[in-house]
Chains A and B, each alone.
Chain A
Amino acid sequence: MKINRSRYITQRIAKALIWTAALSTILVMFLILFQILKDGLPVLSLEFFRESPKNMGRDGGILSTIVGTFALTMVAIFVATPLGVGTAVFLREYTRESAISRVIRFGTDCLAGVPSIIFGLFGFVFFVIFLNMGWSILSGGLTLAVMILPTIISTAEEAIKTIPYSYREVSYSLGATRWQMVVNVIIPNALPGIFTGVILGVGRSIGETAAVILTAGSSLIMPTSIFSPIRTMAVHFYILAREGISMEMAYGTGAALILLVLLINTIANWSLNRYVRNKA
């Protein structure tokens, strides 16, 4: 009986520890958001978003960095989405598990684990120097595209996986070719899942710093074409904080960055939930 009781005590202790762990994770996340938003939100104003940085970022706002972030993300998404969805379609609809699909999967899994600073080094020597694109929106966007490719592949593949086999059979029975089936059945049905992957890619692009600073530069001038160098919000935030240019502006930019990430996360969740509900 004594042994019996002690194992319930152990269970109680374990339960308490696990609750503590879960609650402290929530607490730390909350603290991080709270302590940056508390000092950052008061800095935000309409002018902050409408003006470009002046005096290296001591005054003015963050408009040119918002434009830079947006442009860079667009390039990344436009390049990575077709490649990612194409890969997923190939893996799911055009091949069975084979040597080739194993190689592709291995490549994708490895690419997902490569640290961003390595992407930065690669983007710098390949896009900036070898292909002579210079520090530009294009170099940065292409580097980010390679970086978010694994995310887009895996979410698109998950989405295609959930499409019932009967959809394909009906399409074939109507005389569709494989490609017609992909275009008319697979892609439309996988769209919400693909969208989720794209949103996740957007989130990663916005927050990325190490790879972007080495490939897109850190110019504060408003970009005029995709060959212009730019500074993204995350890079701007980093430079302001690390070089101690202006803590006030750093807090403001940090708060703006957090709000943007929260917004994107909400959209991703919403699209994911809607998708799951539709499938169920």
Chain B
Amino acid sequence: MEKKEKYIEKALLVIALSSISALALIAFFIFKEGLPLIWKVGVYDFILGDRWVPSKSEFGIFAMIVGSFWVTLGSLLLGVPLGLACAIFLSEWTPAWAAVILRPTIQLLAAIPSVIFGFWGLIVLVPLVRNYLGGPGLSILSGSLILGFMILPTIISISEDALKALPPAYKAGALALGATHWQAIWRVMVPAARSGIVASIILGMGRAVGETMAMIMILGNAVKLPDSFLDSARTLTTNIGIEMAYASGDHRQALFATGIILFFIIMALNSTAIVLSRRRVR
């Protein structure tokens, strides 16, 4: 019996290590495929080179980095105020009937596949942007708008948890000092919950940087440095998503190398968010 218990404990430990091993395997295989090309092209030329012509073996992903940056920034401009407002609404101001509608809506927003968002963007947003603002319609603006909604569930759920985890004395104290409900929220509760809120924004950012399918459908995928938010663009993720279907040799390695850069960005964002939310717990 003793022996059996020991074996079971060992087996469970092995199982429990599966997620961290998976992460290590992912990193190992992506680096193994992509690193040789980065060395070949040169780190500097790969990251800051703005020519991506696989047929001529020119691999520079600067345009994609810039594309990812603008689309992510745009999505935050929409997603952060909207998400924070919804989180405040849900934790402080909701009449019961409104919560009954808003909560499932947000769950649904998280559950709807990204291809559906992409399709809706393509049939509704893209023509709107093209007709009223000009340009090809397949643009950074359309992509940011869709992405802003896609990152809402992340921002809302984590910010709401942060607001709800505050000791009730914070709000009670502010109200007792004569603050209005809004002053209590904006001057006391939001600042007190800020590490959780910032963590939610960073995780939302990670989602935005990592989104692929919806962006392939909406961004237009041109490989060039965008001049305005009405220009079409290509991100790190869409570069991989579009070209993996037919790439081989150096070209395929270059896509894995793009994956390495993406992996670095995501890991930096994730670790920051994890550290921030740990701090909140303490």
**A residues adjacent to B (C-beta < 8 A):** 7-8, 10-11, 14-15, 17-19, 21-22, 24-26, 28-33, 35-36, 82-83, 86-87, 89-91, 94, 100, 103-104, 106-111, 113-122, 124-126, 130, 146, 149-150, 153, 177-179, 203, 206-210, 213-214, 234, 237-238, 241-242, 250, 254, 257-258, 261-262, 264-265, 269
Closest to B84 in A: A21
Closest to A208 in B: B113
* Cβ contact within 8 Å between A15 and B113: no
The smallest C-beta distance from B188 to any residue of chain A, in angstroms, reads: 14
* Cβ contact within 8 Å between B274 and A109: yes
Apart from A21-B86, A89-B12, A242-B217, what 12 extra A-B contacts exist at CB < 8 Å?
A: A7-B183, A25-B86, A26-B101, A32-B117, A35-B120, A83-B15, A114-B263, A120-B244, A146-B22, A265-B104, A265-B108, A269-B104
* Cβ contact within 8 Å between A111 and B19: yes
B81 within 8 Å of A (CB atoms): yes
Contacts of A25 in B (CB 8 A): 82, 86, 102, 105-106, 109, 149, 152
**Contact residue among B116, B183, B266, B267 (Cβ-Cβ distance under 8 Å from A11):** B183
Q: Which 8 A-B pairs have the closest CB atoms?
A: A115-B210, A107-B20, A207-B113, A21-B85, A86-B15, A11-B182, A90-B16, A90-B12
Stretch at the interface among B23-31, B35-43, B58-66, B226-234: B23-31
B213 within 8 Å of A (CB atoms): yes
B169 within 8 Å of A (CB atoms): no
* Cβ contact within 8 Å between A125 and B30: yes
User: With A and B bound together, what is the CA distance between A104 and B18 in angstroms?
Assistant: 9
B76 within 8 Å of A (CB atoms): no
Given contacts A11-B181, A25-B86, A121-B240, contact A114 B26 (CB under 8 A): yes
Closest to B149 in A: A28
Inter-chain contact total with CB atoms closer than 8 Å = 241
User: With A and B bound together, what is the CA distance between A149 and B16 in angstroms?
Assistant: 11
The smallest C-beta distance from B258 to any residue of chain A, in angstroms, reads: 9
**Contact residue among B29, B86, B111, B113 (Cβ-Cβ distance under 8 Å from A130):** B29
**Contact residue among A18, A146, A242 (Cβ-Cβ distance under 8 Å from B88):** A18
* Cβ contact within 8 Å between B5 and A178: yes
User: With A and B bound together, what is the CA distance between A95 and B64 in angstroms?
Assistant: 44
The smallest C-beta distance from B67 to any residue of chain A, in angstroms, reads: 14
Given contacts A35-B123, A258-B116, contact A265 B111 (CB under 8 A): yes
* Cβ contact within 8 Å between A90 and B15: yes
Q: Which residue among B18, B29, B124 has the maximum number of chain A CB atoms within 10 Å of its CB?
A: B18
Contacts of A107 in B (CB 8 A): 17, 19-23
Contacts of B158 in A (CB 8 A): none
**Contact residue among A35, A104, A206 (Cβ-Cβ distance under 8 Å from B20):** A104
What are 8 residue pairs bridging A and B, where the CB atoms are less than 8 Å apart in the complex?
A25-B109, A104-B19, A110-B274, A114-B26, A117-B210, A146-B22, A209-B113, A261-B111
The smallest C-beta distance from B236 to any residue of chain A, in angstroms, reads: 9
